Amino acid sequence: MPSELLRVGGRLAAGFGAAGAAVVLAIGATLLPAPDTATGADGTVVEPVSVEQQRACPGPLLTTSDGGTALASFGFPTISAGTRTGPATLAALNSVDVPTARDGATPQAVVAPSAAEPTGLLAAAQAQSSFDDTAGLAAAACTEGAARSWILAGATDTGRTSLLLLANPTAVTAAVDVTIITGSGEVTAPGLTDIAVPAGTQRTLSLAGYALGHAQLAVGVTSRGGLVSATLQQTIVRGLEPGGVDLVGPTAPAATTQIIPGLRITTANAAAGRAQAGGSQDVQTVVRLLAPDARGVDEVDVTIGLAPEAGAGEGAVLDVHVHAGEVVDVPIDSLADGVYTATITASEPILASARASTVAPPLERDEDDDEDTRRDESDDAEQEVLDGGIGFDVVGPGTGPVSVVVGERIDLAWFVATGAITRPVAFTTVDAPGPRLAVVNPGDEPATVTIASVHGEGVYEVAPGSSIGVDLAGATVHVLTSTAPIEAAVSYAGDGQLASYPVRPANPLATPLTIYR
Amino acid sequence: MRPTVTAIVVTHDAGVYLDRTLEALSAQTRLPDSVVLVDIGDRERITEAMSAPVPFTQLSASPQLGFGAAVQVAVRSIAPASGDGSWLWLLTADSAPQPGALAALLHALEVSPSVAVAGPKLMQWADPEYISSFGESMTPHGHAVELAEPLLDQAQYDKESDVLAVAASGMLVRQRLWEQLDGFDPGLPAIDDALDFCVRTRLAGHRVSVVPDARILSAGRRAPGTGRIGPRTSRGARERLARTAQLHRRLVYAPPAAVPLHWLSLVPLAILRALGQLLRKRPGNVWAELAAAFAVAFGHVGSVAAARRRLRRTRALPWSSIATLRVPWAEIRRRRALAREDGVAVRRAGRPALQFFPGGGAATVAVTAVVGLAVHAPLFGAGSVAAPGLLPLGDLGQLWGAVGYGWRELGTGFVGVADPFAWLLALLGTVTFWSPSESIVLLYLLALPLAALGGWFAAARVAARPWLRIVGAVLWTLAPTFLIALETGRLGAVLAHLLLPWLVYAATAARRSWSAAATAALLAAGVLAAAPSLWPALAGIWIVSTAVLASSGRRGRGWHRLLPLPIPALALFLPLAAQHVVRGTPLGVFADPGVQLPTGTGGVLDGQIGTVFAFLAGIPDTSATAWSSLAGSGIPAGVAVSLAVALAAPLVVLALASAFLPGASRAVAMLALAGTGFGTAVIGSRLTVATSGEMILGAWPGAGLSLAWLGLGGAALLGLGAGAIQIRMVRATAGVVVAVAVAAAAAPLLWAGLSGSGSAVPGSERTLPALVAASSTSDPGLGTLVLDAQTGPGLAASLQRGAGVRLDQQSTLYSAASADRAIGGITELAANLASRSGYDPLSTIEQQRIGFVLLQPAAPGTRGMHDRAAAALDGNPLFTPVTETDAGRLWRYTGLDAGLPFAAPTGPDALGTPLGAGMLGVQLLVLILTLLLALPTGGIADMVRPEREVRRGSGLRAAEPSARRAPLVLSGGTHAQ
């Protein structure tokens, strides 16, 4: 039956043809290129009109040492402010919560005209050394206001004072909400929301009033209306002995990768020894971590890498787990003297900063002939066990007898995560010992970095994934330019003095924007 | 005195007809005294002299001449009438007389000397037993009427003798009268010439009579005729000639006072009659009506005047003298009643019943209605639906005002053509005209049963068994793409899915009727307006199917009715496409109308291969919240999506298997349809047709997948319906497996709506915060700058006026345009407001009349940009923060209290420009005409004024003995007079 055969054959041909066509169509569909989503839509790039440049310097150090709770300022900070080509204008800010200014100094607002050229960019920083009961070097960059910032620093346990300075250099009153997070989570206390910071004033909050007795603190500051510059002053007094002072600015916003350049370890052995002493655990080098809004995640996996500058020396790598919403100090105890770059990578966006201390031997004092400057502190050692919310085993105080040299001069410094620099930035060094710039190139491209100042211009190559250190002249405005994104921080180190502040792009609220439809 | 008869034969490329006629003429028992042949043919022809000994003259004349003019040529060539005994016998090439014809005619004249014109009985050439024409008359209004029906000649009309008129061919006319009346009216070259001549004969005081014993053949419509009318003259041209003749006669016969009135009424009446022709489903006659009216109104002035003079000169009797010879209305009505009965019988014979109610169609729709109401129960009583793709609709005026070419209040505003989708929205909103947004609620509540209804009827085109049609309805209702479109609020895709089965239903009948073709054209326009991405697919299907049918002979009969299918869609889309091309975004015409939404992907089906699998299963968007809501129950979203894909496998396999079964050609066509839809989905999703913020968007694949689902479902139904009865169990099992699998895949999507976890929820009438809406009631032009942070360093900016942007305002011109073109006036403002900047925003704020700035809530990844913009706005003394709602953070311009100096920019509305008004007029005209043609009034029109199969009109070919068929009595009246 040829016709029957023909019909069946035709059907088979149709069926296999259809199936084959379907397969070809499906394979073709997988091979058809998709549009390049990376390029995105065509937007209009708009460079915001440049505006008067404004910085707030937190002003003289504060103390409550007169007894009572009244704050008093003391001393004169040296402010280095200006553009590469000229000086800037200073205007006093009204420090409303500090009734007494012993030496008459106030916080300052620094103003310069708008600038389009890097040479016109404003840079300002201040430094203040103290040798009284508040001893050490406190240096800080004068910063622009921000709507949201995190400061990972401070402690309120015995002898530690943490003062939050909120400066509003803008023309609009700011309403500020402060979030305090400790090793055991967020502190709920009245008076932390809707703190009014009028235009041209600086408010001061003692964190002990809200969270007393915490060794780990993080402070979140959110402002509405005007933009506030937040700075934290941490002072340590161990017994009667001054233990250091520092001014800490905000760290970089939460991200899964944080870089802390220029972590400067100067007296590793002395500090390690001192950290064994009771009440002196916070001499130890630590990395402070907080996963501020990791929702629905119990633990955040964090890797901390410490790489020595220019590859010289030993680094360290630590893997830790961090509970979300709790501040953790991760002790770093294996570093020799040197400058390190801390790179923190985490599974969730995380905030990071690092603390280091310098320990200098007592000053030679002719009139002071105490024979016995050593005493055994091992009995007190147990009292300062750090507590709360740590996902690792705290390396406790040593069990053996520890000898402590009375009169050792200790200073602490907080090193914050910096953030990428993609445009020319201006920064200034202050008149403080050992100014040094650390430049990190976290990317994959080699970066050619130019540092220009009135003293001349230096050009440096920074290999991908490495860092360099550049010694700078003090009290000079520099302009930093790079061919690839870099991160940078300035640090100071001297005899019993340690301080650092980040180099950040000017006016982060005025970078070019792409406007889409 | 012996009468002398001059036979005048007019021939026009007549071929065999003429030979037969001359032969028959030679065979006359009473030979004519002379024969004059007037050849007005285009081709050279040498005619043999007649075999009979008759003086034979052959003349050649211009092919342009009509019958009457050709006769006039012959008459001028012979001697003028010497007395009343000279007769002219007018014959056409196809009027072969029977041998005794002339003798009978002359005999009748001898009996009645007052008769000046005698006509024979015209018989049909193919079936000489059937009458073709036997006397003509007019209605009281002057319409020409044949006296005899085209019936078997049973001598039923033979008692007639005095008539108003006879047909031209075979007419025996006294030569003197011919000369006196000046022959036929040159203004009537083709039709009604003899009627007019006979009327004038009557008015001149002579009689006109028919002679039943004289029989002459006539080829009717197939008659070679003249250059003016012949076998190649189309039906429309014939209609035009007839109408022209009637109008010409009307002007000639009218009393002088009425002529201007008649003249003025020509064109208006023609337009009305043209609309009537559309309602009668005779679009070919529309042109005929208009052409005839214009021809008579402007081309016949001279000939009408001449004809009126001629009539006045020769008229001896009043018009009332012929009143009794007209056909009375009663007779007309009787004839119509008879034709109506015949028509009903014929129509009933050709229409199989669909069995919607007994076949389970109604029950299926009822069940899906219950499911649909349950699934969308949260929407009960809501004023509008909120979903990612939905916005409120404006009031009725705004909806209809959005149609056409005019000012679009998007971005900084522009003048542009509306998306054709605006027509759909306007129609939809008119359903609930008191609150148009409620129409969308209604659509959601009725979506499932409407889909089931359409699915059932479309399934009825491929499946004869009731249970298969039910399976088809279920498959169509539970199509994942439809349910996802509903959940994400892609109104266009929903409407396309609802309209597609009806398009199939109408298009498959389009070859048979103009009404179905027009309906299909409107539905195609609707589908394309809702989902422009289907343009290439539907255009391709149209071209291929028309070409295939046109080249397949008798099986493709009626393919010409498919030709105009795209006209309404083209009328809607061409202006938009033109503007897209001018603006340099030609692909934008394929963008989905309405809100621009990205196509989501999620879980394990990311990437091209995963997308292809999802598309094969009819799932356009794997990120639907329904899948992720399953995550709460322990099933990861990715697994749920994969499961849904796997559950569609039986359908795909069955569809492919149908190509192996009997009837594979239809299954292959269905699979080709599926492939086209799949290709549309893939290509559409790989193109860039629009942007939204920093995202580039392709056409949503859902509409293409609806088409693919249509093809898959159709092929599956064909497979289930094919083959022998023995495998019934296998078939039933397969059908149930497919339906259950698809239902299982759809279950999470249905459950999402039912449990309220879907994203289509009751919404409000505004999209901006209440504060803005309140301000806008007193100042509808007040603008709100809406900023939306992007993941990169950028913002999406838009300017919304009044209570917020509406669905009817959306335009693909805007969504395809670059930021510069769309919002060029506010990019500087937006960027600087979101920055610490020294920009002076006042002039832009005042020019654009901006009162508020709204920063939309941050999404994952946009927190940094959001905070920056918020900080910058907070620090801007020109703006005061007002409120923070679900819609975002709102700032108010402090200068608003003092009032803004300028009105919001605006432009012409749809009727404000000649171009816009003209465009809208053309579109409306096309749509209304198509609608008139689509309205199912054909039956009604046939009832009111039925037309019988008038002339059997068989000609030479049918006369060949081999091709001869048994006479079919279509007009089957058994009435005899």
8 Å CB contact of B877 and A39: no
User: How far, in Å, CA of A236 to CA of B83, rounded?
Assistant: 148
Q: List pLDDT tens digits, range B329-377.
A: 998 888 888 877 776 666 665 556 778 888 888 999 999 999 999 888 8
Distance in Å, alpha carbon of A2 to nearest chain B alpha carbon? 17
| Contact assessment for residue A295 and residue A340, using Cβ atoms and an 8 Å cutoff | no
The pLDDT of residue A126: 87
In Å, how far from its chain's centre is CA B284? 13
Nearest CB to B696; choose among A33, A41, A49: A41
The pLDDT of residue B350: 53
pLDDT above 90 covers what percent of chain A?
Answer: 34
Nearest CB to A517; choose among B411, B616, B686: B411
Q: List pLDDT tens digits, range A363-389.
A: 765 444 444 444 444 444 333 333 333
More confident: B118 or A100: B118
The pLDDT of residue B352: 63
Nearest CA in chain B to A223: B871
| Contact assessment for residue A389 and residue A289, using Cβ atoms and an 8 Å cutoff | no
B310, pLDDT greater than 50: yes
- Among A456, A462, A457, CA closest to A482: A462
B975, pLDDT greater than 70: no
Per-residue pLDDT band at B592 (split at 50, 70, 90): very high
8 Å CB contact of B793 and A12: no
**Residue environment code for B64-92, b if the CB has 16+ CB neighbours within 10 A, otherwise e:** ebbbbbbbbbbbeebeebeeeebbbbbbb
Structure tokens, B120: 């024979």
The pLDDT of residue B883: 87
The pLDDT of residue B895: 87
- Among A305, A307, A303, A304, CA closest to A338: A307
User: How far, in Å, CA of B928 to CA of B930, rounded?
Assistant: 5
Per-residue pLDDT band at B973 (split at 50, 70, 90): very low
Nearest CB to A510; choose among B814, B824, B837: B837
The pLDDT of residue A507: 78
For residue B717, give every residue at least 6 positions away whose Cβ sits within 8 Å of its Cβ, in sequence order, or none: B459, B462, B463, B468, B471, B472
The pLDDT of residue A376: 42
Name the average pLDDT for chain B. 86
Average pLDDT over residues B610-627: 78
Per-residue pLDDT band at B974 (split at 50, 70, 90): very low
For residue A254, give every residue at least 6 positions away whose Cβ sits within 8 Å of its Cβ, in sequence order, or none: A150, A291, A292, A293, A349, A350, A351
A437, pLDDT greater than 90: yes
8 Å CB contact of A18 and B659: yes
| Contact assessment for residue B451 and residue B659, using Cβ atoms and an 8 Å cutoff | no
B900, pLDDT greater than 60: yes
User: Would you tell me the crossing angle of helices B361-375 and B466-477 to the nearest 10 degrees?
Assistant: 20
Structure tokens, B321: 């003298």
List beta partners, residue B5: B87
The pLDDT of residue B839: 86
A296 at interface of B, judged by CB pairs closer than 8 A: no
The pLDDT of residue A395: 39
User: How far, in Å, CA of B673 to CA of A58, rounded?
Assistant: 73
Distance in Å, alpha carbon of B562 to nearest chain A alpha carbon? 27
- Among A253, A229, A268, CA closest to A152: A253
Q: Which of residues 38-77 of A touch B (CB under 8 A)?
A: 39-44, 46-52
Structure tokens, B421: 């989708």
Distance in Å, alpha carbon of A52 to nearest chain B alpha carbon? 7
Per-residue pLDDT band at A233 (split at 50, 70, 90): very high
Nearest CB to A32; choose among B411, B661, B682: B682
For residue B355, give every residue at least 6 positions away whose Cβ sits within 8 Å of its Cβ, in sequence order, or none: B361, B466
Average pLDDT over residues B143-168: 86
| Contact assessment for residue B115 and residue B297, using Cβ atoms and an 8 Å cutoff | no
8 Å CB contact of B659 and A146: no
A515 at interface of B, judged by CB pairs closer than 8 A: yes
Q: List pLDDT tens digits, range B252-276.
A: 999 999 999 999 999 999 999 998 8
* E strands present in B125-158: 131-133, 136-138, 144-146
The pLDDT of residue B972: 33
B602, pLDDT greater than 60: no
The pLDDT of residue A39: 65
Q: How many helices (H) and strands (E) does chain A have?
A: 2, 38
Continuous H helices in B567-636: 567-582, 607-616, 625-631
For residue A198, give every residue at least 6 positions away whose Cβ sits within 8 Å of its Cβ, in sequence order, or none: A96, A168, A173
User: How far, in Å, CA of B732 to CA of B745, rounded?
Assistant: 20
Q: List pLDDT tens digits, range B79-114.
A: 888 788 889 999 998 888 999 999 999 998 888 888
The pLDDT of residue B643: 82
Average pLDDT over residues A207-226: 90
The pLDDT of residue A272: 85
B723, pLDDT greater than 70: no
The pLDDT of residue A275: 84
Chain B partners within 8 Å of A348 (Cβ): none
A239 at interface of B, judged by CB pairs closer than 8 A: no
8 Å CB contact of A223 and B874: yes
The pLDDT of residue B216: 92
Using left for φ > 0, alpha for ψ between -120 and 50, and beta otherwise, residue B225 falls in left
A393, pLDDT greater than 50: no
Average pLDDT over residues B959-963: 36
User: How far, in Å, CA of A355 to CA of A360, rounded?
Assistant: 17
Beta strands A89-92 and A108-112, pairing class: antiparallel
Average pLDDT over residues B366-395: 89
Which domains, ranges and CATH numbers included, belong to chain B? 1-231+318-351+952-977 (3.90.550.10), 234-313 (no CATH), 378-393+436-763 (no CATH), 394-434+767-912 (no CATH)
* E strands present in A372-445: 374-376, 403-405, 409-416, 425-428, 436-440
| Contact assessment for residue A292 and residue A325, using Cβ atoms and an 8 Å cutoff | yes
The pLDDT of residue B46: 64
B934, pLDDT greater than 80: yes
Average pLDDT over residues A129-152: 86
8 Å CB contact of A517 and B797: yes
B957, pLDDT greater than 50: no
A400, pLDDT greater than 50: no
The pLDDT of residue A294: 62
- Among A72, A91, A73, A71, CA closest to A81: A91
Q: List pLDDT tens digits, range B813-858.
A: 998 888 888 888 899 999 999 988 888 888 999 988 999 999 999 8
B967, pLDDT greater than 60: no
| Contact assessment for residue A430 and residue A110, using Cβ atoms and an 8 Å cutoff | no
- HEC string for B4-51: EEEEEEEECCCCHHHHHHHHHHHCCCCCCCEEEEEECCCCCCCCCCCC
The pLDDT of residue A510: 80
Distance in Å, alpha carbon of A72 to nearest chain B alpha carbon? 30
The pLDDT of residue B244: 93
More confident: A100 or B546: B546
Average pLDDT over residues B680-704: 88
The CA R_g of chain A, rounded to the nearest whole Å, is 27
Q: List pLDDT tens digits, range B443-466.
A: 999 999 999 999 999 999 888 888
CA-to-CA dists, residue B916 to B252, B572, B576, B626, angstroms: 43, 13, 12, 44
Average pLDDT over residues B671-692: 90
Average pLDDT over residues B559-584: 93
ipTM above 0.85, yes or no: no
A20 at interface of B, judged by CB pairs closer than 8 A: no
Average pLDDT over residues B131-145: 89
The pLDDT of residue B627: 64
More confident: A149 or B598: A149
| Contact assessment for residue A74 and residue A91, using Cβ atoms and an 8 Å cutoff | no
B566, pLDDT greater than 90: yes
Length of chain A: 517
- Residue carrying the six token digits 């198509």: B930
Reported as type and span, the H/E element at residue B879 is strand B879-885
The pLDDT of residue B444: 93
pTM score, two decimals?
0.80
Nearest CB to B820; choose among A44, A171, A507: A44
